[in-house]
Amino acid sequence: MSPEQATFRALADPTRRSILVMLRGRDLTISEVAENFDMTRAAVKKHLTVLSDGGLITVRASGRERINTLNPNGIDPVVDWLKFFDTFWDDRLSTLKTVIEKDKK
Protein backbone atom coordinates (compact mmCIF):
# COMPACT_ATOMS: atom_id res chain seq x y z
CA MET A 1 0.00 0.00 0.00
CA SER A 2 1.31 3.45 -0.86
CA PRO A 3 2.20 5.76 2.03
CA GLU A 4 -0.53 8.10 0.85
CA GLN A 5 -3.14 5.37 0.85
CA ALA A 6 -1.99 4.11 4.26
CA THR A 7 -2.42 7.57 5.71
CA PHE A 8 -5.83 8.23 4.18
CA ARG A 9 -6.96 4.81 5.30
CA ALA A 10 -5.78 5.46 8.83
CA LEU A 11 -7.73 8.71 8.97
CA ALA A 12 -10.92 7.16 7.66
CA ASP A 13 -11.98 5.69 10.99
CA PRO A 14 -13.48 7.95 13.68
CA THR A 15 -11.94 5.95 16.53
CA ARG A 16 -8.51 6.45 15.04
CA ARG A 17 -9.04 10.15 14.57
CA SER A 18 -10.10 10.34 18.22
CA ILE A 19 -6.93 8.56 19.24
CA LEU A 20 -4.87 11.13 17.37
CA VAL A 21 -6.65 13.94 19.14
CA MET A 22 -5.95 12.19 22.43
CA LEU A 23 -2.27 11.88 21.66
CA ARG A 24 -2.16 15.56 20.89
CA GLY A 25 -2.20 16.17 24.62
CA ARG A 26 0.42 13.64 25.68
CA ASP A 27 1.94 10.29 24.86
CA LEU A 28 -0.10 7.31 25.98
CA THR A 29 0.35 3.58 26.45
CA ILE A 30 -2.00 1.17 24.74
CA SER A 31 -3.90 0.57 27.96
CA GLU A 32 -4.26 4.28 28.58
CA VAL A 33 -5.69 4.80 25.13
CA ALA A 34 -8.02 1.84 25.60
CA GLU A 35 -9.44 3.30 28.81
CA ASN A 36 -11.10 5.98 26.72
CA PHE A 37 -13.06 3.60 24.50
CA ASP A 38 -15.80 1.09 24.95
CA MET A 39 -13.89 -1.69 23.24
CA THR A 40 -11.21 -4.19 24.12
CA ARG A 41 -7.52 -3.40 24.30
CA ALA A 42 -7.00 -5.75 21.39
CA ALA A 43 -9.27 -3.65 19.20
CA VAL A 44 -7.51 -0.46 20.23
CA LYS A 45 -4.20 -2.09 19.56
CA LYS A 46 -5.32 -2.84 16.00
CA HIS A 47 -6.24 0.79 15.49
CA LEU A 48 -2.85 1.86 16.79
CA THR A 49 -1.19 -0.51 14.34
CA VAL A 50 -3.12 1.06 11.47
CA LEU A 51 -2.14 4.52 12.68
CA SER A 52 1.47 3.40 12.85
CA ASP A 53 1.29 1.90 9.37
CA GLY A 54 -0.07 5.23 8.17
CA GLY A 55 2.88 7.01 9.72
CA LEU A 56 0.65 9.06 11.98
CA ILE A 57 2.13 7.78 15.23
CA THR A 58 5.35 6.24 16.41
CA VAL A 59 5.65 3.59 19.11
CA ARG A 60 8.52 3.12 21.52
CA ALA A 61 8.97 0.42 24.13
CA SER A 62 9.42 1.31 27.76
CA GLY A 63 9.73 -1.84 29.79
CA ARG A 64 6.58 -3.81 29.28
CA GLU A 65 4.70 -0.76 28.01
CA ARG A 66 4.38 0.63 24.50
CA ILE A 67 4.24 4.37 24.38
CA ASN A 68 2.40 5.89 21.45
CA THR A 69 3.39 9.31 20.17
CA LEU A 70 1.91 11.56 17.54
CA ASN A 71 4.17 11.89 14.51
CA PRO A 72 4.42 15.52 13.35
CA ASN A 73 5.24 14.48 9.78
CA GLY A 74 2.46 11.95 9.57
CA ILE A 75 -0.10 14.10 7.78
CA ASP A 76 2.33 15.16 5.06
CA PRO A 77 0.87 12.82 2.44
CA VAL A 78 -2.58 14.24 3.07
CA VAL A 79 -1.48 17.84 2.94
CA ASP A 80 0.51 17.14 -0.22
CA TRP A 81 -2.50 15.57 -1.86
CA LEU A 82 -4.84 18.36 -0.87
CA LYS A 83 -2.33 20.75 -2.36
CA PHE A 84 -3.45 19.71 -5.82
CA PHE A 85 -6.75 21.40 -5.25
CA ASP A 86 -5.51 24.78 -4.22
CA THR A 87 -7.15 26.51 -7.12
CA PHE A 88 -10.44 24.79 -6.51
CA TRP A 89 -10.54 24.42 -2.80
CA ASP A 90 -9.27 27.86 -2.07
CA ASP A 91 -5.84 29.05 -1.09
CA ARG A 92 -6.66 28.21 2.49
CA LEU A 93 -4.86 24.94 1.88
CA SER A 94 -1.65 26.47 0.61
CA THR A 95 -1.67 28.76 3.61
CA LEU A 96 -2.08 25.81 5.93
CA LYS A 97 0.72 23.92 4.23
CA THR A 98 3.08 26.86 4.30
CA VAL A 99 2.69 27.35 8.00
CA ILE A 100 3.07 23.67 8.71
CA GLU A 101 6.26 23.43 6.70
CA LYS A 102 7.71 26.43 8.45
CA ASP A 103 6.77 25.02 11.83
CA LYS A 104 8.65 21.79 11.20
CA LYS A 105 11.99 23.50 10.71
Partner DNA sequence: CTTTTATGAAACCATAAGGTATCATGTCAA
Partner DNA sequence: TTGACATGATACCTTATGGTTTCATAAAAG
The contact set with a second copy (CB under 8 A) reads 2, 5, 8-9, 11-12, 14, 17, 20-21, 24, 70, 72, 74-75, 78-79, 81-93, 95-96, 99-100, 103-104
**Closest approach of Cβ 46 to DNA, in Å?**
6
Going by DSSP bridges, is the β-strand pair 28-29/57-62 parallel, antiparallel, or unpaired? Answer: unpaired
Residues near DNA (CB under 7 A) are: 9, 12-13, 15, 29-31, 34, 38-43, 45-47, 50, 59, 63-66
**Do 69 and 59 contact (CB within 8 A), yes or no?**
yes
C-alpha angle 36/41/47, rounded to 5°? 80
**Closest approach of Cβ 79 to DNA, in Å?**
22
Smaller CB separation from a second copy, 16 or 30: 16
Q: Which residues are within 8 A (CB) of 94 and not within 5 positions of it... i.e. 6 or more apart?
A: 83, 86
